[in-house]
Amino acid sequence: MRAASPNPVARWSFEEMSPTIANDTISGHDDEIVGFSKRVPGASGQALRFDGYTTGIKRLAANAPRLGDAVTFESWIALQAYPWALCGIVNQADEQEVKISAHEGMIPAKDGDPAMEPDPRAGYFFGIDGDGRVHLQLSLGGHWVKCRSDATIPLMKWTQIAGTYDPKAGRMAVYINGKCVGSMPANGHIDFAREVELLIGRNHQAKTHEHPIRLSPPALFGIEGYLDEVIILDGALGADEIKRDYDSIQPPRDSGMQLAKLPDVAPAPAGFGAYYTRLKFTETWDASRRDGPDSDVVVLFDDRPWKYMLWRGTNYIPHWVTEKGIWYTNEFNETWGSGALGCAEPMSDKQSRYSRVSIVESSPARVVIHWRYALADTRYVSARVDPLTGWGDWSDEYHIIYPDGIGVRKICLWSTQPREPHEFQESIVLVPPGSRPEDVLETDAVTIMNMQGQAHLYSWAEHAPDKIAQPEHANIEIINVRSIARPFLIVSDEPFELYGEKHDGPLFRPMNVEINRENSIFPWWNHWPVAQIPSDGRVATHADRMAHSSLTTGLEWKDWDNSVNSRTRVMLHGLTELPPARLVGVARSWLHAPALRGLPAGISSRGYDMSERAYLLEKATAGDAEVIGFTLDASAEHPLYHPAFIIKNWGDQPARVSVNGRERPVGPGLRTGIRRTIDGIDLIVWLDLESTAPVQLVVSPR
């Protein structure tokens, strides 16, 4: 055994400015930087920023440092987030390929060891795991030996870490800020992996993530944060020498890192409407995308600080955003198995390969957004593929948003098996880094109501609700987020049949699984949004990443329409500052809209269309606009609440509207828009009007 000689054989201080080269100041070797790179203020001088996925420094195996049996690894590190799993800082180990045990179905991670992750056979590994613990691992005498700290390093703060192996002392040890935080007996010669390239800040092979819920494919990832003064020594430093190295550098107290924030936009000068834009997130995440300046869609309101966001970071899953910046969504179509591994859903479409969004209409009167997506797993494999056509499950959703912050969500599922289990709704909130679900949600998180105004408050204080059974015949849900505006949804309260079983009204179910109350009283996952690992289920154990929580799931209600290969449902949803009881009137105005009568000759009515939240009228012939008068028979049982009207073939002439003989000025109380389609030119009218008595309306050319 060669005597330990603690001489540095490689050192990366990152003082050079090249975006593609990191210089080893000991050997003078210029090593290649792969992926994203940026110099940032370091623990001493400059550091290199790593994006958590692509960034790494590599050196060919032939040029890697030649070490004896005693070794030391040191580095200064500031983590933006803990790695998805064990991740190398200095890594020359022959990591083995991870093979998953199945390729279809919902396979819980706790059932045995679904992903066999073999140890390397040779080499060394110095790194951090998914909980921030320091690891030194070596191949000694044909055995892979692991030493790990119990302590964890903090986030967003410069920290010194080190690992040593001293064969004379028969000891491996790891250090944090100059203190030994883990050690173990160890002996033998190091079996070096001399045919493997040296990597800094990244793994050689894809690994399965830590804290999984289900079996997921492995992913290639790296350190997300800053590295500085990465050193390899040929020899084992003692504890005093590690402490000396720690004391020799006085890093800034502020690493310069900031918690990632969800995107936001300023109010649009043009007021209410839908806008294409490119929402900004973090520098590293934005740099990884391959999309242009009009990649996202935002709906803005001119008289309330709310938004409706369809962003790449959520795979375009639409979200209501409150005045406090709390994001909420009613989810999407989802299915399981049937050719897919785990969940087949747009949440799994990490690169938005299938998920697409477009603006169909945008006028002062309303906005219509079309969102199309595939039900595919994290490998982009579709569920329920038709052997005849090759088509898997797809969905088209239309989101019709009005100026009052209320919209219709029309969900059309296309499938060879549309009546097999598919999910249409789940109540989800986003949880930003630095927050837990409790920071976004009230403990009494859900209010459930029926059309009689009876309500029941469901709390997660002691435990998650076992079921949602009260009140009877409920069809209204309010999510009690920590803001003035609160998300709500309304569905049909009519009886329906599901999988051969009859139900007398909607079925609400609490999300009461996958909860670790040591971390949160609510479910808490961070595999979505923005995460790029191929996972559809990872429990959040730290508030380090963008995450989400769920309150109710699998809501079932009556179909709006269906065919042999499709199934359509509609819901009313939005944000509200109204007292819960007032939503009953909103629900009645949508589910039991007042009858329309008294139209003049040449004008026909298709009645009230819940999927448009509008009355549909049509002129018999296109051409000049004409006076159209009619009565809406509003009552307490059939109230009028912010009605909308679509008049087909109106033409492009501006309109005036009178209510009970008084003309309404165009403005907040009256919004009109012109819709041009391949079939003609239509008028859209929206009124800020409430009534429980009959109302006479006249629409005429201006």
pLDDT digits (tens, 9 = 90+) for 265-296: 988 888 999 999 999 999 999 999 999 999 99
- Per-residue pLDDT at 2 exceeds 50: no
Q: What pLDDT does residue 102 have?
A: 83
Of 230, 325, 283, residue with least CA distance to 80: 283
- Per-residue pLDDT at 622 exceeds 90: no
Distance CA 555, CA 573 (A): 14
Half-sphere exposure of residue 643: CA atoms within 13 angstroms, side-chain side: 31
Of 299, 330, 248, 483, residue with least CA distance to 404: 299
Distance CA 615, CA 69 (A): 81
**Tokens 């009109």 -> residue:** 672
Q: What pLDDT does residue 107 have?
A: 87
Given a contact cutoff of 8 angstroms between Cβ atoms, the answer to whether 464 and 512 are in contact is yes
E strand or H helix at 590:
helix 582-591
- Per-residue pLDDT at 6 exceeds 90: no
Strand 327-329 and strand 179-185: pairing?
A: unpaired
**pLDDT band at residue 337 using 50, 70 and 90 as cut-offs:** confident
CA 202 to chain centre: 24
Other Cβ atoms less than 10 A from the Cβ of 123: the count is: 24
In tens, the pLDDT along 375-419 reads: 999 999 999 999 999 999 999 999 999 999 999 999 999 999 999
Given a contact cutoff of 8 angstroms between Cβ atoms, the answer to whether 190 and 92 are in contact is no
- Per-residue pLDDT at 113 exceeds 60: no
Given a contact cutoff of 8 angstroms between Cβ atoms, the answer to whether 80 and 224 are in contact is yes
Given a contact cutoff of 8 angstroms between Cβ atoms, the answer to whether 616 and 646 are in contact is yes
List, in sequence order, every residue forming a beta bridge with 566; answer none if it has no partner: 414, 563
Of 534, 546, 549, residue with least CA distance to 212: 534
Its pTM stands at 0.96
**pLDDT band at residue 427 using 50, 70 and 90 as cut-offs:** very high
What value does the mean pLDDT take over residues 492-500?
94
**What are the two backbone dihedrals, phi and then psi, of residue 492, each rounded to the nearest 5 degrees?**
-60, 140
Which structure tokens are listed for 332?
A: 């999407």
In tens, the pLDDT along 640-697 reads: 999 999 999 999 999 999 999 999 999 999 999 999 999 999 999 999 999 999 999 9
Q: What pLDDT does residue 372 have?
A: 98
In tens, the pLDDT along 145-176 reads: 999 999 999 999 999 999 999 999 999 999 99
Cis peptide bond prior to 41, omega within 30° of 0: no
Domains contained in the chain, CATH given: 7-98+109-247 (2.60.120.200), 273-584 (2.70.98), 593-701 (2.60.40)
Given a contact cutoff of 8 angstroms between Cβ atoms, the answer to whether 361 and 681 are in contact is no
Q: What pLDDT does residue 117 have?
A: 81
Given a contact cutoff of 8 angstroms between Cβ atoms, the answer to whether 396 and 561 are in contact is no
Given a contact cutoff of 8 angstroms between Cβ atoms, the answer to whether 642 and 690 are in contact is yes
Other Cβ atoms less than 10 A from the Cβ of 141: the count is: 12
What value does the mean pLDDT take over residues 327-338?
96
- Which residues lie closer than 8 Å to 391 by C-beta, 6 or more apart? 382, 385, 414, 416
**pLDDT band at residue 5 using 50, 70 and 90 as cut-offs:** low
Q: What pLDDT does residue 116 have?
A: 62
Distance CA 67, CA 65 (A): 6
- Over the Cα atoms of the chain, what is R_g? 30
